[in-house]
Amino acid sequence: MRIEENYSLEKYNTFHIPVKTRWFMEYSNEEELERILRDEYFQECLSLHIGSGSNLLFINDFNGIILHSTIKGIDVLEETEDSVLLHVGAAEKWDEVVAYAVSQGWGGIENLSLIPGEAGAAAIQNIGAYGVEAKDVIETVEAYNQLTFEKRIFTNEECKYGYRSSFFKNEHNDPYIVTYINIRLNKKPQFLVNYGNLKEELAGSEPTLQRVRDAVIAVRRRKLPDPEELGNAGSFFMNPVIPIKRFEKLKVQYPEIPSWPAGEGMIKIPAGWLIEQCGFKGKSHGPVGVYEKQALVLVNLGGARGDEIALVAESIRTAVNDRFGIELMPEVKYVG
Ligand SMILES: Cc1cc2nc3c(=O)[nH]c(=O)nc-3n(C[C@H](O)[C@H](O)[C@H](O)COP(=O)(O)OP(=O)(O)OC[C@H]3O[C@@H](n4cnc5c(N)ncnc54)[C@H](O)[C@@H]3O)c2cc1C
């Protein structure tokens, strides 16, 4: 176990905001985690479990305990003629899990290549890209209840997955810490390449796991800034989902509005398009920028504070609401 006091989180958030945490605790197995959870001081303190901080916006220093796992490992739990069940430590880098699966010829997560963050968070966020979501492969999630200290194994159904949401993200539920995820992958992969620019990227070549992964990586690298070079947390807002009747009215006013179906009677609209229409794309506001290739991504141009980023996000929300009557909800979690 590692414990640090007044510790900088600059390397633990992809906006690279140099906030400090009062305490930073890193555990390497479930026994250590249980010891921390049962500790009276821990129970009295404010605490937050983080992964790679690629979906977090720290507004202030954190006056409490930041918890981080180093539980790693990718093991085959079960293998059949058609599939494998993998047991993955929550601290495994998600993209390394994808790279490993692809190298073994196991399909199901290749479209989720290059998404930053750790495996545990992938199951909490229900990460998604190019028509695939983590929920499509998650069989069970192993997690500790922070109030009762009990370990529980959640079935996929119990995780209550939705668009970027899960049981674990619902603030009314008991707080859980994910230690392992178990994902089922296909030994006879079926490819999903009709989404975004994947098909063009494959340029007519027969899809293989590696080719699809390479295509996803190439498209993402062109579209999204590398957080190591330009601090960001990916899509800052979720794509709004509105009733079809409201969408039809908007379409009369904005015939070119892009959309895709989102379940019965609902339509999803790309938040990036709405933001672009309001004139934010490529603009900077002091040290905060709206990425020139994707208006949904806010970037730290150098030295930005969390509250400065939050202020720009708020002005975007207001502008989109005033113009389209649509309320954008942050995908990024504000801390502090
Ligand atoms: C350039 C870029 C591109 C991105 N593209 C995508 C994309 O295509 N699709 C997509 O879905 N997301 C995308 N994201 C967002 C981000 O990668 C995901 O949300 C990711 O799952 C966050 O993982 P993390 O380990 O960084 O979690 P963090 O940001 O550290 O935490 C996210 C949440 O999970 C909680 N958490 C983390 N680990 C645990 C744990 N073990 N137990 C309990 N709670 C935990 C945290 O408290 C927090 O609420 C992108 C981000 C960036 C920077």
Q: Which is it for the CA torsion 231, 321, 195, 100, positive or negative?
A: positive
Active site residue 38: no
From the CB of 108, is ligand 1 less than 6 Å away?
no
Active site residue 52: no
Among protein residues, the one with the nearest Cα to ligand 1's atom 10 is 127
Encode 166-195: b = buried (16+ Cβ within 10 Å), e = exposed.
Answer: bbbeeeeeeebbbbbbbbbbbeebebbbee
The pLDDT confidence band at residue 203, using thresholds 50, 70 and 90, is confident
Q: How does pLDDT run across 279-294, given as a tens digit for each residue?
A: 999 999 999 999 999 9
From the CB of 21, is ligand 1 less than 6 Å away?
no
3-state secondary structure of 206: coil
Q: Residue 195 has what pLDDT?
A: 84
Q: Residue 179 has what pLDDT?
A: 98
Among protein residues, the one with the nearest Cα to ligand 1's atom 11 is 127
Question: Are 155 and 168 a contacting pair, CB within 8 Å?
Answer: no
What is the average pLDDT value for the chain, to the nearest integer?
A: 96
Q: Residue 107 has what pLDDT?
A: 98
275 beta partners: none
**Catalytic residue selected from 164, 211, 213, 317:** 164
From the CB of 320, is ligand 1 less than 6 Å away?
no
Q: How does pLDDT run across 221-244, given as a tens digit for each residue?
A: 999 999 999 999 999 999 999 999
Q: How does pLDDT run across 266-283, given as a tens digit for each residue?
A: 999 999 999 999 999 999
Give this prediction's pTM. Answer: 0.96
Q: Which of 105-109, 159-163, 195-199, 212-216 has the lowest mean pLDDT?
A: 195-199
